[in-house]
Chain A
């Protein structure tokens, strides 16, 4: 099983190496839990039955004065465990973003691009982001982009609206866009994008109230019908936990509690992620 959405924000070794990381975790990403040794991250994967996890930084220095993890830090963590799949993040508001991305992929061997229009404060559908999408398309890597509600203080809700991405999705048809958090609360808009465009994927890392089981039951059986997941979107959904906002084990259990077939669960938990991560897909 693959978790397509995790953040390194509580890894203590990063704080020891870079004191500004604590401010990034506490004030920018906004999480209050105790920092944990790197080992805990792998143990959290173990108890959830997750074999590999995508690790995401956010290059938000321009907007927030500090990055929430750098590409170099992600590469260093990935070097410690083959179970981690590192994504890069670059700031579309910076002119060197395309070359920064190319370096992160070719030199640091990162395997995807993470963008967060809310934290990075850019228009995901505007021309300022096009050069970055173009670079990602040329590098044949997926882009995982924050959509939906962001808990980060000071971030604008509208930055996360999935329909802002439509022009980019159309323009870069060979680039796979993974819309994070199922774009909650704009679930139908995200679903419509996925139904219309084959280069759109959705990750399950949505949890905004209640428990993971309750929230998944609401989103995937009442907000949209479960048959839509099983019959129409099964090839375009990837499992994401958003750890450490929520423990991976709880999100896996919540997904498995849905009335989905094993075949569909296998696609969401493994096959679709493998397909996205295969260069040249």
Chain B
């Protein structure tokens, strides 16, 4: 049984952005040597997310647009206050709520050294409050 954990650094460059990380996850699987098992991917940040959808720009745009419609920046949020544990103001509740609704992780089976996924399924790191350097965890289990 092999268990490997990789920390993937992602530099987002915009305030909101969908970044295709499918190839990076495939590469981590290839480097792990695991032929059959499971890969789990998770963002470590609560104002970002991870989604799986068809890998086309119109859908990237739709996800961001409609999450923004659900959680407008102008809405009234309790989070808008000084966070005394952090030395900062919290006013990005919209980003946190997008993360909650959109999800923060995904899992795929590994078969013959590759992700077993649908031909359209693409893994996106979702930036909701960038630009920032972010970290995703990729855990690979198998043999």
Contact = CB atoms under 8 A, between A and B. Distances in A.
B93 to A, nearest CB: 9
Which one of A31, A40, A214 has the greatest number of beta carbons of chain B within 10 Å? A40
Interface string A5-43: 000000000000000000000000111111011011001
A117 B86 CA distance: 22
Given A39-B11, A40-B11, A47-B131, A209 B82 contact: yes
B81 interface: yes
Interface string B80-116: 1110011111010000000000000000000000000
Contacts of A247: 129
A212 B91 contact: yes
A43 B81 contact: no
Which one of B11, B80, B91 has the greatest number of beta carbons of chain A within 10 Å? B91
Contacts of B77: 211
B57 to A, nearest CB: 19
B130 interface: yes
A164 interface: no
B132 A36 contact: yes
B133 interface: yes
A37 B131 CA distance: 11
B88 A246 contact: yes
Interface in A75-128: none
A29 B85 CA distance: 13
A33 B13 CA distance: 18
B129 to A, nearest CB: 8
Nearest to B11: A39
A213 B130 CA distance: 18
Contacts of A47: 14-15, 130-131
Contacts of B131: 40, 43-44, 46-47
Given A32-B85, A32-B86, A32-B88, A209 B132 contact: no
Interface of A: 29-34, 36-37, 39-40, 43-44, 46-47, 151, 207-214, 244-247, 249-250
Given A40-B11, A211-B77, 14 more contacts: A32-B86, A37-B133, A39-B11, A39-B133, A40-B131, A40-B133, A47-B14, A151-B87, A209-B81, A210-B91, A211-B80, A244-B88, A247-B129, A249-B15
Interface of B: 11, 13-15, 74, 77, 80-82, 85-89, 91, 129-133
